[in-house]
Chain A
Amino acid sequence: QVQLVQSGAEVKKPGASVKVSCKASGYTFTSYDINWVRQASGQGLEWMGWMNPNSGHTGYAQKFRGRVTLTRNTSISTAYMELSTLKSEDTAVYFCARASSWGSSTYYFDSWGQGALVTVSS
């Protein structure tokens, strides 16, 4: 079965960087985009960006451009999200999600990681 297993909780100081991993299993890692979505406590879902694990191509939400970097290691079927220059407002649960698509107008997240809590505090 498809599984996405994320790394554990992190505590970081303002200004630091964090790198969260997402290990995929149960399918061909390079065949599906991986997206990243975050959720602050009590708030809604916020999309951060996507990565094609085959080509390495990425796309980022305007809000995070310049601060987020999505990468992958295909040999171990793992995707990474690195967020730099952390602020207290970046405290949130970060999810990875596998994306499936049909044609040019259908794109959805059919499997999610369990989430990784990142706390930014001095």
Chain B
Amino acid sequence: QSVLTQPPSASATPGQRVTISCSGSSSNIGSNSVNWYQQLPRTAPKLVIYSNNQRPSGVPDRFSGSKSGTSASLAISGLLSEDEADFYCATWDDSLNAVVFGGGTKLTVL
């Protein structure tokens, strides 16, 4: 059981917008910023959002992040087939003194 809770799956058609949620607690999301990683099949994860809503260089502005209280979300607009991947939220947990991940959300582009 993951410390951060994500829906196991999400889906949308090309061009649509999809949102993936990530729920935590006061000791993790409530106290620290949230990062999001995209993992394409059989590859290493890639950072797509850091510090709640910042995009690394090279990540399209179709990707956006937000945080409110003990929850965070990742939004992808103008979906492309190449966005199909697993997405993980992560942050530091002050009680566990550890990095914690969500269980991952498999995004399917229909």
Contact = CB atoms under 8 A, between A and B. Distances in A.
B37 to A, nearest CB: 7
A113 B43 CA distance: 10
Interface in A85-122: 95, 97, 100, 102, 105-110, 112-115
B40 interface: no
A44 interface: yes
B16 interface: no
A95 B32 CA distance: 23
A110 B50 contact: yes
A90 B103 CA distance: 18
Contacts of B47: 108-110
A37 B88 CA distance: 13
Interface in A48-66: 50, 59, 61-62
A47 B50 contact: no
Among A100, A109, A110, find the residue whose CB has the most chain B CB atoms closer than 10 A.
Answer: A109
A35 interface: yes
Interface stretch (B18-26, B73-81, B91-99): B91-99
A45 B44 contact: no
B45 interface: yes
B100 A108 contact: no
A46 interface: yes
B108 to A, nearest CB: 16
B51 interface: yes
Contacts of A115: 44
Contact of A45 (B50, B98, B101): B101
Contact of A109 (B33, B37, B96): B37
10 contacts: A37-B45, A37-B101, A44-B101, A45-B39, A47-B101, A106-B51, A108-B90, A109-B90, A112-B46, A114-B44
